[in-house]
Amino acid sequence: MSQTPPDPNFEALAQRAASLRAQIHEHNHRYFVLGSPTISDAEYDALFDELDAIEKTYPALITPDSPTQRVGSDLDERLPKITHPNPTLSLSKAYTEDDIRAWRTRIDKVLDTSARLGYVVEPKFDGLTVVLTYTDGILTLGATRGDGYTGDDVTANVRTIRTVPTRIPVHPDAPRPPSPLVVRGEVVMLKEDFKAFQQKMQTEGETRFINARNTASGALKQLDPRVTASRPLTLYAFEIVDAPDDSTPHSQWQSLSFLRQMGFLVSEDIQRFDDLEAVIAHIRAFEARRHSLPFEIDGLVIKIDDFATYNALGVVGKNPRGAVAYKFPPEVVTTRLTGVSISVGRTGVLIPNAELEPVFVSGATIKQATLNNFDDVARKDVRVGDRVMIKRAGEVIPFVIGPLPDARTGTEQPITPPTHCPFCQSPVLHEEGEVAYYCGNPECPERIARSIEYFVGKGQMDIEGLGEKGVRQLLEAGLIRDEADVFSLKPESLENLEGYAKLKIQNLMNSIEAAKKRPLDRVLVALGIPNVGTTVAKVLIKHFPSLELLMNATADQLQTIGGIGPSIAATVVDWFALPRSRSVITKLAAAGVQMVSTETQITRSEALAGMTFVLTGTLPTLTRDETGALIEANGGKVSGSVSKKTSYVVAGESPGSKRDKAEQLGVPILDEDGLKRLIADRGGES
DNA sequence: CACCCTCGAGTTCC
DNA sequence: CTCGAGGGTG
């Protein structure tokens, strides 16, 4: 060992280490004792790793009480303690592919061999590790991992978990179990179970259950096993800790089948590889589908398969050398809710938006997230100033999971629905039993801006070159006041506007001209009548093939149409009764916008008549719109959600949850070719 | 009246 | 993509 050279930063690092130790101690206390953490697991890990790194560089800075010197504890003083004869060690962590390769290189040094090694890759469950002891096949002890050496005795609680065999073998013809048999497993709450449980508790006014892991942990540590029994826990077995030598497998991969034979639930998402690069490729692929797993994971564990080799590798510090835990980049982080802004949609609904201290999650810096509605805010009890947990739902849309109430200082401000529209000051409306709060003023400038944005948007009038910014600009310049004014824009008046060059103006004019020929059902959608989207608009136009006719229809007449109930009928009639609506329609007609249905419904065949399709993912050659048009042209229907009634799901590259749902319900799945073949087989046209 | 299916509306970042 | 709510059905 060489002498550590003096470092000008030594003082600063010593201070930093002390501060990290204090922070980690506090968070340990909050997490393990109070059960209410104020930072996310990933942030905790980051603090820990930073301290660990400092101490590795300057071992002189290690103090006996440093959190790095012991394995984290989750002991609960109310429960009886047991001592583990075979302590559970923690695994060294890897955050990058190179970390994994480095792990392999360290192995080579120790073994002094480049022999081919087998690897088993398992999900790293985000739950609680428990140790189960069986004597003559009877479950005699169930204990939490605790700090690895000492755990809580939760035998009675563990027995209530359905996937824990209390007596093995489960099947009479299976081999007799060795005795004693000590098995390690992970107690988790499956995502689906957690969701259902959370919902159930919410209806009973309990909103504390924020994440599956903490809920599972709480459930397992109940003093009354009946409470545990009422919570949907699942145990996955993943390791044989101890058993008489001659009777058990000699590799991890074989132990997993052995555990299955004994009647334990073992995850199906475990694989074995002979090559480290294959392991890495697997990890990369796995990360993409981690969300379609039934349980939460925060990474993958890679183990050397062969026990003899694994044991020969020994232990360094508190980590076995034969395994490594690869951690996914964090997906749940905490940040501060600095404020709430209110937006008004074109329908008048007021939506609270969270303003966040910028934070990096799942590949992007988030500084804003929707809070959906005020019911949600009240249910979660989020307040301005709170530290909140954030994730990106489906990897994309930022989502506020909930506050960390224990991090409050007392200065946080509750969020209440406004009594007046922030844009036009008119009183806010709220129907009893409904979630939404409305600005009821159809002339509200913000609502009008939103309506026009929607009107020119894609899928409606589809005027290219005119987006949100452009609409606001035109409104401010006084060039438009409503939807119809878009059609009377003059090239000359645009010239003075910032950002409008000759070519851009020309393109915009062409686009506006083209919009006059949109089919009537699209015009109807564009008008933005509440509850009238593509489907409803099509139905309405079919029965009332001109705006003139539709405008004069009564609610009773509308209700006779299938799919139109009292609610839609009322909103349609009400909307046409508004002076603003009538004026817009008159102006549109005057501007030359198509106001009658040309009704040359280009149904080329009835090949798909009576069938409903749901689209997900990206197809190789057709766009989403083209696929939909193709299906409709052949008499089929396109729907947004998968159900038992769905005939086919058409899935392309990187499909979403709909594909999984289809598999669940047994709905057949087609690719693009499959769809084309189906149409051709039934005499349709592509 | 309680379900299930379907639709509509709004959603972030770059 | 997800939620809330409308419409229809048993």
Residue A178 reports pLDDT greater than 90: no
Class of domain A445-591: mainly alpha
- Tell me which of A29-43, A91-105, A548-562 is least confident: A29-43
Residues A81, A109, A124, A637: which is the catalytic one?
A124
Percent of chain A with pLDDT over 90: 20
3-state secondary structure of A116: coil
**Which residue ranges make up each domain of chain A?**
10-69, 92-327, 333-411, 445-591, 612-681
When the pLDDT of each residue in chain A is averaged and rounded to a whole number, the result is 83
Residue A49 reports pLDDT greater than 80: no
Instruction: Measure A360 CA to B14 C1' (Å).
Output: 14
Class of domain A612-681: alpha beta
Residue A437 reports pLDDT greater than 50: yes
> Smallest CA–C1' separation from A643: which nucleotide?
B5
CA quadruple A636, A642, A646, A652: dihedral sign: positive
Instruction: Check: CB of residue A415 under 8 Å from CB of residue A340.
Output: yes
From CA A34, how far away is CA A167, in angstroms rounded?
35
- Tell me which of A58-62, A438-442, A480-484, A609-613 is least confident: A58-62
The pLDDT tens digits for A378-426 are 888 889 998 888 876 555 678 888 888 877 888 888 888 888 988 989 9
Residue A1 reports pLDDT greater than 50: no
Fold of A333-411: OB fold (Dihydrolipoamide Acetyltransferase, E2P) (2.40.50)
From CA A280, how far away is CA A332, in angstroms rounded?
24
Residue A4 reports pLDDT greater than 50: no
Residue A669 reports pLDDT greater than 60: yes
Protein-covered nucleotides of chain C (CB closer than 7 Å) are 1-8
Does any strand B atom come closer than 7 Å to the Cβ of A612? yes
Residue A170 reports pLDDT greater than 70: no
Q: Report which residue is nearest nucleotide C5 when distances run from CA to C1'.
A: A434
3-state secondary structure of A307: helix
> Smallest CA–C1' separation from A393: which nucleotide?
C1
**C-alpha closest to that of A572 among A554, A588, A560:** A554
**Pick the residue with more confidence: A591 or A628?**
A591
> Smallest CA–C1' separation from A639: which nucleotide?
B6
Residue A670 reports pLDDT greater than 80: yes
The pLDDT of residue A204 is: 66
Could you tell me which CATH number the domain at A10-69 has? 1.10.287.610
Instruction: Measure A569 CA to C7 C1' (Å).
Output: 12
Residue A71 reports pLDDT greater than 50: no
The pLDDT of residue A317 is: 75
Protein-covered nucleotides of chain B (CB closer than 7 Å) are 4-14
From CA A214, how far away is CA A220, in angstroms rounded?
10
Segment (H or E) for A413: strand A413-414
The pLDDT tens digits for A230-278 are 888 999 999 998 888 677 889 999 999 999 988 899 999 999 999 999 9
Mean pLDDT (whole number) for A621-627 = 80
Band the pLDDT of A32: cuts 50, 70, 90.
Answer: low
Band the pLDDT of A285: cuts 50, 70, 90.
Answer: confident
> Smallest CA–C1' separation from A570: which nucleotide?
C6
Instruction: Measure A625 CA to B13 C1' (Å).
Output: 24
From CA A206, how far away is CA A201, in angstroms rounded?
5
Does any strand B atom come closer than 7 Å to the Cβ of A487? no
Instruction: Measure A607 CA to B7 C1' (Å).
Output: 25
> Smallest CA–C1' separation from A641: which nucleotide?
B6
CA distances from A319 to A69, A88, A121, A323 (A): 12, 10, 17, 8
- Tell me which of A315-329, A410-424, A501-515, A649-663 is least confident: A649-663
Predicted model pTM: 0.64
The pLDDT of residue A254 is: 94
Bridge partner residues of A402 (DSSP):
A389
| CATH architecture group of domain A92-327 | 2-Layer Sandwich (3.30)
Burial A674-686 (b: 16+ CB within 10 A, else e): ebbebbeeeebee
Q: Report which residue is nearest nucleotide B4 when distances run from CA to C1'.
A: A643
From CA A367, how far away is CA A341, in angstroms rounded?
12
- Tell me which of A24-38, A125-139, A341-355 is least confident: A24-38
Does any strand B atom come closer than 7 Å to the Cβ of A368? yes
**Pick the residue with more confidence: A317 or A231?**
A231
Burial A282-304 (b: 16+ CB within 10 A, else e): bbeebeeebbebebbbbbbbbbb
Percent of chain A with pLDDT over 70: 90
Question: Residue A606: what are its φ and ψ, rounded to 5°?
Answer: -110, 25
Q: Which of residues 546-605 of A touch strand B (CB under 7 A)?
A: 563
Instruction: Check: CB of residue A524 under 8 Å from CB of residue A537.
Output: yes
Instruction: Check: CB of residue A354 under 8 Å from CB of residue A368.
Output: yes
Instruction: Check: CB of residue A489 under 8 Å from CB of residue A481.
Output: no
Active site residue A516: no
The pLDDT tens digits for A185-233 are 999 988 888 877 877 776 666 656 767 787 888 888 877 888 888 888 9
The pLDDT of residue A611 is: 86
The pLDDT of residue A3 is: 42
Instruction: Check: CB of residue A123 under 8 Å from CB of residue A267.
Output: yes
Mean pLDDT (whole number) for A461-473 = 86
Q: Report which residue is nearest nucleotide B14 when distances run from CA to C1'.
A: A364
- Tell me which of A130-139, A350-359, A431-440, A593-602 is least confident: A593-602
Does any strand B atom come closer than 7 Å to the Cβ of A353? yes
